[in-house]
């Protein structure tokens, strides 16, 4: 099992208990003649988030090749982003599909991933994944169980689907430097599949009232920052649709005691990069695009290169100016990515500009989409 120092306990109540124990650890008076140590100011933290991970046949075959034919190795595929992901205080991914039985992979229309992906996401530097998606029920409750078991074994936190009702009611909480970050996730649908009648809690569906209630509950339980992942939008559409825009406005407007209930919204599902926007003072990533996916085709069967483009969002949070205040985003960045389907590698486009005009053109197109709703005016910059 991969263990990582950034991980935190399973539930908010445990996090709070652990925090109290740490704070109470040493209350002995200072030795005679020595001044009491001054309090160290709280530092900020960085959060990185990426887009969909999809198990197309070419992805599986590449991972099998990289493993030398024995199992699957996704680490070389993800190596180009490790320098961005690993240094973050907390890094979040989106696992769109479930893991197959006995390590198996099933292709379209039911998509499953070999479970080695969980291990390799953790090795890349990820701390947790959202699992609420339109593919979450592709292999029924067994698929959810296998997926969450594999994520647990890899030391990755997860949110959005559940094996038990108690798990569905427990927020995923990650330690990000000095802060406790609650991660919640919901999907706008499950591709026509119905939730199991005896497990209506198996996958979180988008419901505005529930999202707000869950965010407030996480805050009451001690979360400093609440991050919501939403699997939403229209596939293949670079502009957010009306439902995305309306829900973003409503969720970011929700406040308790003058403090926003949600501190960051991370979107997936459109399979192409979508804009970032600061809405009611809160950053919204409408769609990060596909971080890992095979060659994309549109509804007419024509290859669409946009389906192999994505962004990593990187947000630097500063501690509140006063107790009980909001952790503020002091720097917002996006890193443009491309999945090279021929090489089977995720490419950081800002570190591959020596490859020529074509790479620059792709990077510039991603930048134009990301900034198309005025995010540059609110301080969003392109990072490396």
Q: Which residues fall within 8 angstroms of residue 308, CB to CB, at 6 or more apart?
A: 290, 293, 295, 296, 338, 339, 340, 341
Ranking 28-32, 70-74, 199-203 by mean pLDDT, the lowest is: 28-32
Least confident range from 8-12, 73-77, 217-221, 300-304: namely 8-12
Could you tell me if residue 338 is inside a domain?
yes
Percent of the chain whose pLDDT exceeds 70? 86
**Does residue 313 surpass a pLDDT of 80?**
yes
- Number of domains present in the structure of the chain: 1
DSSP 279-316: ETTEEEES--BEEE----B-TTS-B-GGGGEEEEEEEE
In the prediction, which pLDDT does 36 show? 41
| Residue 61: pLDDT over 90 | yes
3 within some domain: no
The predicted model gives 259-276 an average pLDDT of 98
Interhelix angle 208-220/242-253, nearest 10 degrees? 30
**Which of 366, 358, 343 has the alpha carbon at shortest distance from 80?**
343
Residue 243 maps to a domain: yes
pTM equals 0.89
Q: How far apart are the first and last CA of the chain?
A: 31
CATH number, residue 158: 3.60.21.10
Per-residue confidence band for 27, with pLDDT thresholds at 50, 70 and 90: very low
Instruction: Write down the pLDDT at residue 41.
Output: 57
Using the predicted structure, report yes or no on whether residue 77 has a pLDDT greater than 90.
yes
What element of type H or E holds 99?
strand 98-99
For residue 281, is it left (φ>0), alpha (ψ between -120 and 50) or beta? Answer: left
In a domain, 324, yes or no: yes
Q: Tell me if 98 is assigned to some domain.
A: yes
Percent of the chain residues past pLDDT 90, beyond the cut? 78
Q: Which structural domain range is residue 134 located in?
A: 43-382
Query: What one-character DSSP code corresponds to residue 229?
Result: E
Q: Residue 285 pLDDT more than 60? A: yes
């Amino acid at each position: 099992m991969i263990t990582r120092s950034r991980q935190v306990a399973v539930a908010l109540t445990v996090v709070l208990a652990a925090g109290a124990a740490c704070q109470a650890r040493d209350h002995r008076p200072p030795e005679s003649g020595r001044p009491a140590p001054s309090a160290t100011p709280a530092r900020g933290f960085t959060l990185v988030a990426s887009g969909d991970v999809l198990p197309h046949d070419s992805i599986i075959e590449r991972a099998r090749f990289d493993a030398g034919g024995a199992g699957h190795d996704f680490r070389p595929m993800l190596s180009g982003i490790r320098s961005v992901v690993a240094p973050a205080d907390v890094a979040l991914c989106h696992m769109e599909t479930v893991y197959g039985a006995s390590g198996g992979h099933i292709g379209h229309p039911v998509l499953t991933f070999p479970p080695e992906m969980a291990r390799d996401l953790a090795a890349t530097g990820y701390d947790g994944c959202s699992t609420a998606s339109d593919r979450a029920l592709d292999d029924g409750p067994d698929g959810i169980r296998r997926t969450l078991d594999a994520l647990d074994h890899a030391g990755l936190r997860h949110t959005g689907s559940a094996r038990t009702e108690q798990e569905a009611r427990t927020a995923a909480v990650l330690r990000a430097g000095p802060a406790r970050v609650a991660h919640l996730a919901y999907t706008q649908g499950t591709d026509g599949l119905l939730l199991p009648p005896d497990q209506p809690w198996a996958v979180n569906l988008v419901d505005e009232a529930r999202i707000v209630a869950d965010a407030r509950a996480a805050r009451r339980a001690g979360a400093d920052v609440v991050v919501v992942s939403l699997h939403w939008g229209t596939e293949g559409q670079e502009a957010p649709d009306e439902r995305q825009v309306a829900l973003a406005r409503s969720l970011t407007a929700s406040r308790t005691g003058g403090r926003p209930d949600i501190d960051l919204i991370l979107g997936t599902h459109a399979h192409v990069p979508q804009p970032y926007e600061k809405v009611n003072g809160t950053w919204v990533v409408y769609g990060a695009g596909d971080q890992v996916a095979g060659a994309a085709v549109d509804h007419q069967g024509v290859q669409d290169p946009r389906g192999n483009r994505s962004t990593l969002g990187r947000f630097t949070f500063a501690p509140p100016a006063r107790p009980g205040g909001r952790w503020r985003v002091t720097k917002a960045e996006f890193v443009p990515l491309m999945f090279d389907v021929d090489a089977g590698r995720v490419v950081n486009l800002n570190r591959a500009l020596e490859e020529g005009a074509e790479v620059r053109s792709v990077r510039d197109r991603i930048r134009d989409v990301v900034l198309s709703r005025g995010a540059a005016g609110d301080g969003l910059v392109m990072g490396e």
